[in-house]
DNA sequence: CCTTGAACCTATAGTTACTACAGGTTCTAT
DNA sequence: ATAGAACCTGTAGTAACTATAGGTTCAAGG
């Protein structure tokens, strides 16, 4: 009884992305090809809205498209278990922590540079930041 | 008296990047066109090594190519002051902090999901992670 | 019913910062 | 002299979209 229909514009707004992004997701097979009107316009159902929300939310959480494909496979196909999804989430959490660590090292380096530099109008030749940038490695690479 | 010469391979190794990356930097104007041998091979000097190190280090610190162009402009042109560089470094530090904050919120969400999910082999239909992913917004976007 | 303009359609190119390849030339060491 | 490593140019590919062009369809107002 819930057969509300959505145009692509409504769908996009509903999930906070652009129409072109929906096209893109369809092209790469993340979103299914929906039915069309006589004239060729796409017509979406609530299930599409949910699926797109899932995708967008997963992207926000830093999952890559390929990972999301895997997650959706879990959901689309029967015979999958919660444990598999949990494992992916844990992997993702670990990757995120590594990114955070990297950035914090980076932040430290930047702040040190800024503190050492009195700024104002001494010449560029005496700038400790420029100096630091000419020096090799100190942070983990990105 | 220090006129050591470097091949592009040596230059790349010296700065920890690939030969193709040097070509690329030359093409986009980050690195100057160096002199060549009779046969057309590039010949670099120590100044090139230093400049490339500067670029690579800045990239490690998260500066975008366009920002590095600005930094190099400060260095290449006279009449610039340390203060300008300092300001850019501070801006960069702020941007990095924002990224860190985002990722930490993300981390929180992921960990919550993992904790709520007992994993094991309950069906995907009861998975709290899948559930959470179907729900809208909770983290800042990336 | 007709018109207007918003929303839609497809297909292609652009974005960022590289990386990878193809097909050919030069350099270096034996 | 020759083998093979390193170099050359130019083009295409990567991720995840975004933007544009040029045309069609839809919904609302007159």
CB B30 within 8 A of CB B76: no
Cβ <8 Å between A89 and B113: yes
Cβ <8 Å between A83 and B59: no
Q: Residue B15: is its pLDDT beyond 90?
A: yes
A82-123: per-residue pLDDT in tens?
Answer: 888 888 888 888 888 888 888 888 888 888 878 877 666 566
**Beta bridge pairs of residue A6:** A44
Distance from C-alpha of B60 to C-alpha of A102, rounded to nearest angstrom:
10
Q: What is the ipTM of this complex?
A: 0.73
Q: Give me the residue spans of the domains in chain A.
A: 1-63
Is residue B13's beta carbon less than 7 angstroms from any atom in nucleic acid strand C?
no
Chain D: nucleotides below 7 Å from protein CB are: 6-10, 15-20, 24-26
Instruction: Determine which of B13, B73, B107, B112 to mutate to test the interface with A (most A C-beta atoms within 10 Å).
Output: B107
A8-35: per-residue pLDDT in tens?
Answer: 999 999 999 999 999 999 999 999 999 9
Cβ <8 Å between A114 and B90: yes
Q: Residue A126: is its pLDDT beyond 70?
A: no
Inter-chain CB pairs, A–B, below 8 Å = 173
- Residue B130's CB is within 10 A of a number of other CB atoms, namely 21
DSSP 8-state secondary structure symbol assigned to residue B33: P
Least confident of A8-12, A60-64, A87-91, B133-137: B133-137
CATH architecture for residues A1-63 = Orthogonal Bundle (1.10)
């Amino acid at each position: 009884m819930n057969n509300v229909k959505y145009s692509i514009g409504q769908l996009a707004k509903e999930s906070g992305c652009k129409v072109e992004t929906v096209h893109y997701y369809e092209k790469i097979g993340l979103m299914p090809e929906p039915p069309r009107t006589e004239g060729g316009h796409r017509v979406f159902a609530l299930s599409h809205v949910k699926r797109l929300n899932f995708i967008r939310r997963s992207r926000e959480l830093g999952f890559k498209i390929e990972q999301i494909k895997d997650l959706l496979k879990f959901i689309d196909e029967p015979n999958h278990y919660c444990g598999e999804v949990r494992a992916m989430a844990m992997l993702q959490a670990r990757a995120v922590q590594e990114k955070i660590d990297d950035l914090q090292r980076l932040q430290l380096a930047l702040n040190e540079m800024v503190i050492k530099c009195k700024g104002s109008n001494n010449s560029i030749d005496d700038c400790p930041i420029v100096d630091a940038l000419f020096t090799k490695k100190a942070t983990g690479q990105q």
